[in-house]
Each structure stands twice: as structure tokens, then as C-alpha cells.
Structure 1
Amino acid sequence: MASTTSLSARGRHYGTVLIDMATHRPLHLYDGREGEDLAAWLRTHPEVKVICRDRSSGYSEGARVGAPQAQQVADRYHLWANLGQAVEKTVNGYRSRLAEPPADPANAPDEPQVVQPLAELKIVTRLREQHAAAHELWQQGMSKAAIGRKLGLHQATVRKLVNARSADDVVAKNLQRAHVVDPYVGYLHRRWNEGVRNAAQLCREIQEQGYPGSELAVQRHLRRYRSGRGHAPDPGPKPPSVREVTSWIMTHPEHLRDENTEKLHRLRERHPDLDRLTGHVRRFAVMMTARQGDRIEDWITRAEQDSLVPLASFAHNLRRDFDAVRNGLSLPHSSGAVEGNINRLKMLKRQMFGRAGLDLLRKRVLLAR
């Protein structure tokens, strides 16, 4: 039995090592990972009956052409690693929704913010008071500069107040600026604390809740947080990262800490897609550990029919390598012993400081005892 795997050096230069799985000793080492090279070696070794390999299409074709008599076995480690990549891509689509919902129902993520009536806004009351005071002093004959000093206002602000025919004109103009964001500050704070920093995206979200202003006003409100002149309210517990959630889903339930089990349970309750994703992963894990390769067809069909695109793509790729995958989930063979040889090979490369060519490396690998 032989096992093939690719190994990479700095700069993504690949090589291939073949291991005798009966003795765990290297059989061959060659540059690249092309199927033709593997096929050429296998033709000279017709005694090979089982080939454990990673999921490279080149190795699949090389094994088929060079050793049609051999049984190909997809390594379980690589199958599990590929599934983990699909899970991480799926969870990444929920990155902004991994945080726990606020305790106050009024601030729940899916609930629209209750917009405060215009007359109740503090800025409206303040503008009306300033307009009345400025006009009263103006009628008393005070200059705009004197009015500004008395009221503690900038001269430009006094000019706008005095030139406005009514307080409503001042209110209407100012509400087209940053203050129109005030009713949505709580929502913006929460989304900021969840890691959303794009003003255009946040503007679209609050516009769906009735926000009448422009994106510029949202940018002005967020500027204080970007520059460090202000801070959003305490966000509470930090939301889990994509990798943390992926780890929870990929870990055996009995090996999860109680707190992580509870967090995953709440995530599954909030997001049906993540609930289904976890179910798919756990069924695959049972199938893999119990060597129930005869169930892979049903698992692939269910995954392909689900709306989880990364998982469906993973399942579709399994179908392309169906026989080897089924063998990998049914037979006891694996490429586990290869990893030790790869680590040893990398150690030899470091000892040679990267200056020796492949020929010397091959000799040190194949002739060492």
C-alpha cells in the first residue's frame, strides 16, 4: 500500500512524497504534484493495491492511469478539513449576526427603532429657544456679534437665527444635518459594536426603518468614533468570532465546554441555517468515525438540496471523487503516518538552509535509516 501527499515550500513550490504504509518509510520523492509523474512511478510498481491520497485531482488521475488495479482511498483528515472550510465560509455569512441580541426587546436586532416625534427632539427645543432669544436681542438693537457673545453662539449661527423668518425654518435646515440621526443612534451604536463600520451600509439599514436623512449625516455621526473623540456605549459581551463558531460546530458535542454548548444552542435557535449546518456536520462526523461510507450518497444529496451554498459545493465535489470518498469513510486505511515523514523532511530542508537541490534532499530522505 502506498500513500501520496503534496508538500509545499516557501513560495508555493510543491513536491510529492510517496510512503509505504506497511513500513511507514518513504518510497519516492519528486518535484511537483502532477498526475503523470505519479502514474509513471505506479506503472513500475504493479504490486500496489491500495493508494491513500489527499483530494488532489492530479493524484486521482495519476492513480487511475498508473494503477488501475489499485483501490483509491481519500484520506479522512483531508475530508474533514475540507468540510471545515465549507463550514467556515457558511458561518462567515452570518458574521454580523453572531452577537447575542440585546436584553431590551426595544433594541432587538430585528425590531425597527421607534422614531421620536419631531417636537420631542431635544435639538428642536433648543433651536426654538435660541431663535426666540436671538430675535428678542436683535429687536433690542444688539449687533450679531454681541448676541453671539451673550448667548455663547458662533457668529455664523447667530446670523442664521436672525435671518430665519421662523423657528421652523431653522429646525428644518438643521434636521437635514447630523441631528436627524438622533432617533437612530442606539441602532448605530449597536451595529458599530458588532463590527460594522461602513457608513453607506448603516445608512441603508436605518433608511429601511424610516430614516429621512442622507449618508453624509451618518458619516458625521460616526466620525467621532473613528477619530477617538467619542465612544459607543459598552457593547457588553464580545460576540464570538467566525472561527470560534466554526470550532463549536466541528467539535464533538461531548468535548465542548458547557458555556460553548449553550452559546451554540442559542445560535442554532436564532438562525435555522446554522442549525441545519450543525446537523449536516454531525451526521458526517458519525458517518466518518463509524465508517458508514454506504451513507455518503444520502448525505451528499441532502447537502446539495440545502440552501447552504458552501456546503452544497463541498458535497458536489465529493460526488466527483465518489469512490475514493466512500472508501475513505469505509476502510481503515488513512494517510496518518505521512505527516511524520513530512515533518522530518521539512527538518532536513532546514538543516540544509534551503541551499541543497531536490536530488540531495531525495537521497537524504530515501537513504536515511
Structure 2
Amino acid sequence: MTIFARSGAAGCSCRACGAWSERVHSRYLRRVSDEPIGGRPVTIVFTVRRFCCRNSDCAAATFAEQADGLSERYRRRSVPLLATLAQVGLSLAGRAGARLAAQLGVRVSRTTLLRLVRALPEPELTEAPVVLGVDDFALRKGNAYGTILVDVDSGKAIDLLDGREAEPLAQWLRDHPGAEVICRDRAGAYAEGAKTGAPKAIQVADRFHLWRNLGDHVEKTVARHLGCLKPGLPDNGISDAPTAERTSEPAEPRLVTRTRERYAAVQDLRGRGESLSAICRTLSLDRKTVQRFARAATVDDLLGKAIGRSNLLEPFKPYLHQRWAEGIIDAAQLTREISAQGYRGSNQTVRRYLHPFREMLTPPPAPPAVPKIRQVTGWLLRHPDDLDADEHRQLADIRSRSPHLDRLAEHVKAFATMMVRRQGENLDAWLSTVEADDQPHLHSFAIGIRRDHDAVTAGLTLPYSSGKVEGNVNRLKAIKRQMYGRAKLDLLRKRVILA
């Protein structure tokens, strides 16, 4: 569809000096693409007049008129069409936006869409919001990170910073004063940056991150003590006594022995100044395994999960005992039966487990099932009303058999009550109770809270949180993945702030 048009104005102002002129120098035809009508491309053939500038001192002897709201200099698309394409680029980025535009009747390349997005003006920001949310995000996970700043009251992202160190945040706060409350996670860099850039602002540690940090330490504690509920293990689940003193006790599981040996070897090589790569080559271990052993403060941090770890055969042992009592002693057949029920292990594992049965007149009773570490952790962290009767029964049984886990449940309940009811004034009493108990992993959690005491107290007292910040981080991740992770910070910033 072609539309022929001309301007009805008597004259025009010079673009250089602003002088008004009605003297026409010449005319020419200009073609401008406009938004489609009924799926049909639209071309506006515009008769443009070139005027003579009456200002003798003006550098521009002649100038061409523009149709306000329709055309701009050097543009072959109309102003409304450019605005529409810019919004398409904001929403869908390059390739997807180009495909949608083609369906609407506009031919445009992906690079043009991205160029239009980059050219969009950003809202001017001179002051920080009263309640500012701060969090990090990955530009390239493990290599490059950034910082997102969110107005917590409105829930909108206002800026993206390169890096997640303290100085960029501190500089931004100095350039944009006005923040009275800063919501953040437990990162020390953000705590330092907020303290340096806005020393009078109240820092609030997010309750979600507090609960998540507590959950990590609870899981480690459960892993440390859940193993003592298995038959045939020492009472404390972890024993460092000499071999001569525990000859009457069952032998350590092979995994525990191997964990002790690897930890001692890694720590010995680290003490000699060897690099992680050299340790990997010497011990023939994966780099992540060496990192885990090198970062562990004590061997107990590793032994907890090694002892509490369940194997693939654990859920199917009662069935194997039942079938053996019924006279089915063929290991291959039993493997096929439990494989149909979901077993993913090997035939040899079943044979090794059933081998002692062949020397007995009757098979031993099936060992009591011990819940997995994450199951018990979930029961401790969930609200009691969300547990069914069977979960209540199992948790009560575990607490009755393990004094450590019983006290752990009380600590978790006290912290949850304090967090939900926002009783930050009870934090010091809770910390004192935890520090007086024999819970090494909770001691580590308490040490971290002591370092960030004021922010944690504010987080457990004030109504502010980083919920809206986390929502913006999720939206940012969706935008980044939509562009297959190839969005540079400037383009990602435009799409996050303006979309």
C-alpha cells in the first residue's frame, strides 16, 4: 500500500539556527516505510520541500523539512514504526523479534533491532530509592558477574553494575544519595560497599537467605548424626579413636576409610605448597573432588555425608528379605524384579548383599529403613502443620534415638519462630543457646551471624526483604537465556531496565 503525502505548512524552521523560512529552494520525493495495515506493507511517498535559510550567518544554506511525528533525518522508517520495532526488540531481542516482525509485514534484520534497543534513552536517575535492593547475577557463570539494583517499593530494576565487588556499589551509592534501607543477601562485599557508600543507611539481611544458610548447616548436622541411626555403626556416627581401642566395634565402612585417607593426602600436599592441579595429577582425582577435600576445615565435614549416605539398594532391601524368605534365592532373578521397581544398580551389588544369607538357615530381618539426609532436613525445616502423620512419626522416632538431632530440631524451631514473628530482639539469646550446645555446624552459622549482627537483627525485625529483587533476578536470567547468553552488559541493561 502506497500513500502519497505532502506538508501543508507555509514554511519551516532551519535545523541549524532556528530561523523561519518560507522560501522554497526545491522539492524531491522521499519514501518512508510505515506500520503495516491489514498485514500489508505501507510506504509513504512524501513530497519534501527544501527551503533556503534566510540567515546569512547560518552554515546551512538550505534545509529539508520534516513531518513531525512521521519522519526524521536519514531515517527510511517512520517514527511510529521505529518505536514499534524498538519495543519488539526489547521484548524478543534480535532473531525472534525479526521473525515476529516478518509475520507482521515488516522486514528488518536482527542487528537493526538490537541497534534500536541500544539507542533507546534511559530514565534519568539522580537519587537512589528510599528502599534499595541489591543482588548479584551471572553474566557467565563462574567467570563474570554483575550487580542488579532494584527499587523495592516499586519492584522495578533501576540499574545494572559490572562486577559484584564492594567498590562499584559504593561508588553508585555516592553518586546517587538518598537510600535509607538497603536489602541484601549475606555477601560480605555488598555489606562493605553499602557501609562505605551509604554509611547512614540501614542494612537488612534477607530472611530467605538467612533461612537458606541455616538449612545448609542443618543438612550438614543431619548428615553428621544420621549415620548413628544405622545398625552396626558407632554411637556417635563418627569415631576418631585408635584402632586398638575399638576392636570390639564394627569395622568402618570402606567409604569412610577412603575419605579419611584422601583427606589426609590432600591436606599433606597442600601443606607442602602444592597446587590443586598438581594434587589432581598426583592422586589421580578430579579437580572438584580435590577442591572439596582442600576446603574442608576438618575430616568430620566430609565424614558426615559419607556415613549418612544411602546406596541404591537401600529402598529394596525389605523386598529382598521377603523374597529370600519365600525361597527365591536366585540373585539374577531378584535383580530383575527390583529393576522393574526402579533399581538402577548392578547385579554384583545384589549378589554381594545376598551372599551372607547363603550361610544362614534363615535370612536376618530387614534392617529398619533410615530416611535420607534431605528428607530429614526437609522435615526439620518445614512447618509442622505441613507434615503428614507418617512424617511426624518418623521425625519423632529420629529425635528420640538421637539427642543431637533432637536439640537441632529445637534450635531450628526457635529460629523459625523468631523469623516469622520478627522477634529480632531474641537473636542474642538464640545465639548463646546454640553456642553452648555441641553443634559444630551451627557454631559456624552463629559465627557468620555475629559478623553481620546488625543486618541480621534488622532482617528479623523490619518488614523489608529481597523478594522483589529475587524476582528481578529471575526475569534477568530469562532475558539472558532468551539471547542464548550472548547479551553484553549494555544491551542486557537496556532490556532489563526498559522492558
TM-score w.r.t. length of structure 1 = 0.65
1:118 maps to none
- The residue type equivalent to 1:278 in the other structure is A
Return 5+ residue gaps in structure 1 as ranges: 102-106, 111-183, 202-223
Aligned match of 2:92: none
Deviation for aligned residue 1:238: 3.2
Corresponding residue pairs, total = 260
Distance 1:273 1:363, change over 3 A: same
Deviation at 1:8, TM superposition (A): 2.6
Following the alignment from structure 2 to structure 1, what is the Cα–Cα distance between the partners of residues 397 and 353?
32
- Percent of aligned pairs with the same amino acid: 49
Q: In structure 1, what is the equivalent of residue 479 of structure 2?
A: 348
Q: Corresponding residue for 1:299?
A: 430
Please tell me whether the aligned partners of residues 227 and 233 of structure 2 are also in contact (alpha carbons under 8 angstroms): no
CA contact (8 A) 1:34 1:59 kept: yes
Q: Which residue of 1 aligns with 2:219?
A: 88
Query: Do the aligned residues in 1 keep the contact of 2:219 with 2:373 (CA within 8 Å)?
Result: yes
Structure 1 letter corresponding to 2:134? T
Partner of 1:63: 194
Could you tell me how far apart the structure 2 residues matched to 1:255 and 1:230 are? 37
Q: 1:16 to 1:225 in 2, by over 3 A?
A: same
Counterpart in 2 of 1:7?
137
Cα pair 2:379 2:391 within 8 Å, conserved: yes
Identify if the C-alpha distance between structure 1 residues 108 and 98 changes in structure 2 by more than 3 Å, giving closer, same or farther.
Answer: closer
Shift of the alpha carbon at 1:356? 2.3
From 489, 493, 498, give the equivalent of 1:358: 489
CA RMSD of aligned residues (A): 2.6
Alpha-carbon offset, residue 352 of structure 1? 1.2
Higher helix share: 1
Query: Which has the larger share of strand?
Result: 2
CA 1:109/1:41 → structure 2, altered by over 3 Å: closer, same or farther? closer
Residue identity opposite 2:161 in structure 1: Y
Are residues 1:247 and 2:384 paired?
no
> Aligned partners of 1:108, 1:230: CA distance in 2, in Å?
17
8 Å Cα contact 1:98-1:240 kept in structure 2 = no
CA apart distance, 1:354:
1.6
Compare relative contact order (CA 8 Å, sep 6+) and give the higher one, 1 or 2. Answer: 1
Tell me which residue corresponds to 2:161. Answer: 30
Distance (whole Å) between structure 2 residues aligned to residue 258 and residue 227 of structure 1: 33
Match of 2:44?
none
Q: Deviations over 1:138-183 (max 9, x none)?
A: xxxxxxxxxxxxxxxxxxxxxxxxxxxxxxxxxxxxxxxxxxxxxx
- SS of 1:296's equivalent in the other structure is helix
Question: Relative to 1, partners in 2 of residues 1:264 and 1:230: Cα closer, same or farther, differing over 3 Å?
Answer: closer
Asked whether the 8 Å contact 1:4–1:19 carries over to 2, the reply is yes
Aligned to 1:228: 351
Structure 2 residue 448 is matched with structure 1 residue 317: yes
Letter in 2 for 1:3: G
Matched residue, 1:20: 151
| 1:273–1:229 Cα change, 3 Å | closer
Return 5+ residue gaps in structure 2 as ranges. Answer: 1-130, 236-248, 259-346, 357-363
Aligned with 1:33: secondary structure?
Answer: coil
Question: Secondary structure of 1:314's partner?
Answer: helix
Question: What amino acid sits opposite 1:2 in the alignment?
Answer: L
Report if aligned partners of 2:229, 2:401 keep a CA contact under 8 Å in 1: no
The answer to whether the 8 Å contact 1:76/1:328 transfers is: yes
User: 1:76: how far off?
Assistant: 0.2
Contact 2:419 2:460 in 1 (8 A): yes
Q: Does residue 421 of structure 2 align to residue 290 of structure 1? A: yes
- Residues 76/199 of structure 1: CA separation in 2 closer, same or farther (3 Å cut): closer
Larger Cα Rg: Structure 1 or Structure 2?
2
Q: Deviations over 1:6-57 (max 9, x none)?
A: 1235532322101001111111112221011110111122211000000100
